[in-house]
């Protein structure tokens, strides 16, 4: 049983970075709660503890002490950046770290970049408290810049936050080798082997490459050995393009507007190009 510690940065009296009508603490928490829910929905073999599940104040020491006392296997601290840049980056400790720390971060980084279209600012190192004082592999993610209008527009989209969270959840699962749930004999899965391509996997399971990509929320053809892919049934996602409406997407996937709103937690029919919607 893998123990996952999710740390939504800041909270309570500490708003974190602010900009474009957003407070970092709120976005961090929204993403972390989605990560928790996706992991619990899609994977077995883990337990999750969070530094906070509401808008409460927690010191850095309280967060790391809690994770250390619990005996977490992976510490994931979720943040939003500021300072005039743009894009996604993540950090591990700039001192001595285990090989797992590097491997876990590499897998997490790859999965997040599959889901988002942020500029890739790369994999970095820093002397942050939550990376230095944790007794287990730890990573800190910076999911866009709150003071960049383009990044902030994405962070205001619940569907886009779901994309960020899905990347985190799948990356954590890949790092820790979690089992994808079969949902009582539902979607079958396939573990990618060396030499596999999306085309060869699709052919073997009597489906198209696009169907395989839709089932797994893939935005490109990159796969790697050990990756678990859904190869039948399961959840399907669609990335909104210019001119789409909820009605047109519902027609395309033989569903209803109300069903789309319910699946994605939408409170209106407003969608934007780049939003990633669950359609099934």
- DSSP letter at 181 equals P
- DSSP letter at 178 equals P
Terminal CA-CA length for the chain: 29
270 neighbors 113 (Cβ within 8 angstroms): no
Closest Cα partner for 157 from 53, 59, 280, 20?
Answer: 20
From CA 108, how far away is CA 175, in angstroms rounded? 7
From CA 278, how far away is CA 280, in angstroms rounded? 6
For 110, the 3-state DSSP assignment is: helix
From CA 160, how far away is CA 239, in angstroms rounded? 10
Q: Which helix (H) or strand (E) holds 257?
A: helix 257-264
142 is catalytic: yes
From residue 36, alpha-carbon distances to 33, 67, 149, 203 in Å are 5, 16, 28, 33
Catalytic residue among 24, 89, 111, 142: 142
Backbone angles phi, psi at 123, to 5 degrees: -105, 125
Q: Please list the active-site residues.
A: 142
């Amino acid at each position: 049983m893998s123990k996952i510690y999710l740390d939504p940065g800041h909270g309570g009296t500490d708003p974190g970075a602010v900009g474009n009508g957003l407070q970092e603490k709120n976005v961090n928490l929204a993403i972390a709660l989605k990560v928790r829910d996706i992991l619990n929905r899609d994977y077995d073999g883990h337990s999750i503890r969070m530094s906070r599940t509401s808008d409460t104040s927690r010191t850095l020491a309280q967060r790391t002490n809690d994770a250390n006392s619990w005996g977490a296997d992976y510490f994931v601290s979720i943040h939003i950046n500021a300072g005039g840049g743009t894009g996604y980056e993540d950090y591990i400790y700039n001192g001595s770290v285990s090989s797992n720390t590097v491997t876990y971060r590499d897998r997490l980084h790859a999965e997040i970049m599959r889901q988002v279209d942020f500029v890739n600012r790369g994999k970095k190192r820093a002397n942050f408290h939550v990376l230095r004082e944790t007794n287990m592999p730890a990573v800190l993610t910076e999911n866009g810049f709150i003071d960049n209008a383009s990044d902030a527009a994405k962070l205001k989209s619940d569907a886009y936050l779901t994309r960020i969270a899905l990347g985190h959840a799948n990356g954590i699962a890949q790092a820790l080798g979690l089992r994808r749930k079969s949902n009582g004999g539902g979607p079958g899965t396939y573990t990618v082997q060396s030499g596999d391509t999306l085309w060869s996997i699709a052919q073997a399971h009597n489906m198209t490459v696009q169907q395989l990509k839709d089932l797994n929320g893939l935005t490109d053809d990159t796969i790697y050995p050990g990756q678990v892919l859904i190869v039948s049934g399961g959840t399907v996602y669609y990335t909104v393009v210019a001119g789409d409406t909820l009605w047109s997407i519902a027609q395309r996937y033989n569903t209803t507007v109300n069903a789309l709103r319910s699946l994605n937690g939408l409170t209106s029919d407003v969608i934007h190009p780049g939003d990633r919607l669950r359609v099934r």
